[in-house]
């Protein structure tokens, strides 16, 4: 790495400029990328001047995005989605962590957006940018310094959200389901069969625990009640709508439960004595390719359950309960007759039925 004529600015082998300098007791370190020497000098001079003002006149130093992100994570620690937010912050930090809040905008976020877009969907990139937008808005409108000035003295910038093709749900036909499940390892096939008969999300299935099972003697059956927050530390842990989730077991789902009983002391689904962390793993991806169904996602099993309920004539309000959607109903407890009605509806899709499935191809 070669030094330039300005102390503290170095040129890397690829021609990019790197600043590493101490001024007024503060270390200034930043990778500026492939810019002209004059631009690097101007940037460094601006940073040094801000530190000089703070040193001589008590002018406040600029808050960095990393500082703001840390405050946001601390203040939001009780939120159910905090693990997911922290995951996004970790991804963003190498790109904008050291930037002053006023320097975070479309141009400085562009390298992050380009890199992430190579491996994930536009929707996933947008979720990271939504975290940035939330932090910037708080810094501009809520958080204050001791002198009453906001952390971000300008209005939070408008961030451009990348647009991509929205992937439509792909409900499986009974034949496609049989073809796919036959190629899955036994433990994954068991979980997939349970998912397509209960409409649970992936993490609700893998986190399902025996302690959540409740017997209904009047019906000679049992249900599971998944708590709104089940304490997992991985992303997307918890019921999506933040309400307790009733899981009604039709005859197929009940058979899966009985087959798993006694395999693990805590979790319903396990493999070689350990809980399964994901359904969407390499075995799932291999199976869907072998079944000529590469477009099928794990979440499509939930869509399949919902479509089959609708095709079977199950009323909308009943479908909402079985799928765990918010319905606006204040009911949180169900009597045995109400559960019997839900069980009857769920059993309408427990076995294959000959029905035409029309796919509209855009």
Structure tokens at 27: 């270390």
pLDDT in tens, 22-39: 887 777 888 888 888 888
- The answer to whether residue 183 scores a pLDDT higher than 70 is yes
Confidence category of residue 244, pLDDT binned at 50, 70, 90: confident
- Which pLDDT belongs to residue 255? 96
Cβ-contact 297, 280 below 8 angstroms: yes
The pLDDT > 90 percentage for the chain reads 57
Helices then strands, each counted (H, E), the chain: 13, 9
Residue with tokens 């997939």, as numbered in its chain: 192
Structure tokens at 197: 């008969």
pLDDT in tens, 73-91: 999 887 767 888 999 999 9
- The answer to whether residue 235 scores a pLDDT higher than 50 is no
Give the count of beta carbons closer than 10 Å to the beta carbon of residue 90: 11
Give the residue among 349, 211, 227, 201 at the shortest CA–CA distance from 279: 201
- The answer to whether residue 214 scores a pLDDT higher than 90 is yes
- The answer to whether residue 302 scores a pLDDT higher than 60 is yes
Name the helix (H) or strand (E) containing 224.
strand 221-226
Q: Where are the domains of the chain?
A: 2-57, 65-141, 174-347
Least confident of 52-66, 113-127, 151-165, 282-296: 52-66
Can you tell me the mean pLDDT for 281-289?
94
- Which pLDDT belongs to residue 177? 96
Can you tell me the mean pLDDT for 125-129?
94
Q: Distance from CA of residue 68 to its chain's centroid?
A: 21
CATH fit for domain 174-347, picks 1.10.3720.10, 3.40.190.10, 1.10.443.10, 3.50.50.60: 1.10.443.10
Whether the pTM exceeds 0.75: the reply is: no
Residue with tokens 């994570």, as numbered in its chain: 73
Give the residue among 243, 260, 238, 245 at the shortest CA–CA distance from 194: 260
Give the residue among 98, 89, 5, 108 at the shortest CA–CA distance from 47: 98
Confidence category of residue 205, pLDDT binned at 50, 70, 90: very high
């Amino acid at each position: 790495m070669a030094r330039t004529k300005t102390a503290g600015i170095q040129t890397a082998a690829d021609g990019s400029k790197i600043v590493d300098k101490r001024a007024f007791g503060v270390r200034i370190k930043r990778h500026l990328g492939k810019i002209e020497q004059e631009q690097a000098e101007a940037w460094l001079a601006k940073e040094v001047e801000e530190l000089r003002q703070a040193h001589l006149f008590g002018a406040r130093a600029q808050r960095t995005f990393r500082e703001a992100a840390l405050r946001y994570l601390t203040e939001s620690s009780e939120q159910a989605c905090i693990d997911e937010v922290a995951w996004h912050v970790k991804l963003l930090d190498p790109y904008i962590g050291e930037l002053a809040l006023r320097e975070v905008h479309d141009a400085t976020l562009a390298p992050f957006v380009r890199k992430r877009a190579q491996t994930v969907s536009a929707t996933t990139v947008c979720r990271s940018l939504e975290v940035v937008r939330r932090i910037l808005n708080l810094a501009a409108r809520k958080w204050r310094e001791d002198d009453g000035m906001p952390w971000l003295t300008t209005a939070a910038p408008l961030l451009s959200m990348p647009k991509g093709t929205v992937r439509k749900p792909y409900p499986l036909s009974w034949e496609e389901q049989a073809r796919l499940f036959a190629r899955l390892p036994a433990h994954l096939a068991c979980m997939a069969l349970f998912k397509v008969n209960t409409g649970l999300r992936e993490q609700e299935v893998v986190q399902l625990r025996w302690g959540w099972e409740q017997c209904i003697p009047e019906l000679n059956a049992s249900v599971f009640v998944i708590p709104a927050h089940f304490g997992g530390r991985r992303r997307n842990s918890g019921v999506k709508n933040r309400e307790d989730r009733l899981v009604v077991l039709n005859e197929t789902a009940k058979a899966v439960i009985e087959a798993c009983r006694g395999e693990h002391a805590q979790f319903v689904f396990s493999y070689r004595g350990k809980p399964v962390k994901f359904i969407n793993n390499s075995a799932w991806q291999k199976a869907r390719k072998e079944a000529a169904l590469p477009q099928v996602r794990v979440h499509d099993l939930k869509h399949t359950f919902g479509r089959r309920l609708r095709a079977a004539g199950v009323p909308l309000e009943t479908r909402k309960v079985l799928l765990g959607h918010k319905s606006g109903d204040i009911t949180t407890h169900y009597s045995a007759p109400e559960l019997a009605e839900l069980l009857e509806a769920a059993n309408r899709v427990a076995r294959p039925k000959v029905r035409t499935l029309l796919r509209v191809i855009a």
